[in-house]
């Protein structure tokens, strides 16, 4: 199996796994506002640690992903920024790796000058 398809499977898993819990939150919480959702991430020290961890991962991803997208001339690269916050980094990071690998495969298929 090509590596890019592993990235695509991980992106699908990332959206399904994270949104399973998001949907459960919205189905069970009395206050389903975004402010309450964010407040829930700060209820315990482990939750705060996990939130801080993800925040560093997100900004590290952006620091690498944006220049890499520009270098490879990936179209619509910017759409992954809002999707990271609207869906999940567990979705957008492997999705970017899939898009990147597809672009690299495309560039490698071009005849060498």
pTM, two decimal places: 0.88
Q: CA-CA distance, 89 to 80, in Å (whole number)?
A: 9
Question: Residue 32: CB partners within 8 Å, gap ≥ 6?
Answer: 25, 26
What radius of gyration, in Å, describes the C-alpha atoms of the chain? 17
Range 64-86 burial, b when 16+ CB lie within 10 A, else e? ebeeebeeeebeebeebeebbee
113 pLDDT tier (thresholds 50, 70, 90): low
What's the pLDDT tens digit per position in 25-81?
999 999 999 999 999 989 999 999 999 999 999 999 999 999 999 999 999 999 999
Q: Which of 58, 81, 87 is nearest to 50 (CA)?
A: 58
Question: Residue 63: CB partners within 8 Å, gap ≥ 6?
Answer: none
Question: Taking the CB of residue 44, how many other CB atoms lie within 10 A of it?
Answer: 10
H or E segment to which residue 62 belongs: helix 45-72
Q: CA-CA distance, 93 to 88, in Å (whole number)?
A: 9
């Amino acid at each position: 199996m090509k590596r890019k398809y592993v990235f695509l499977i991980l992106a699908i898993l990332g959206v399904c796994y994270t949104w399973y819990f998001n949907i459960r939150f919205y189905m069970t919480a009395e206050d389903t506002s975004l402010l309450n959702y964010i407040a829930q991430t700060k209820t315990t020290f482990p939750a705060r640690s996990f939130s801080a961890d993800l925040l560093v991962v997100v900004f590290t991803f952006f620091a690498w992903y944006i220049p890499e997208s520009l270098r490879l001339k990936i179209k619509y690269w910017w759409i992954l920024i809002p999707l990271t916050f609207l869906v999940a980094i567990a979705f957008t990071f492997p999705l970017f790796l899939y898009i990147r690998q597809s672009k690299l495969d495309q560039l490698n298929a071009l005849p060498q000058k």
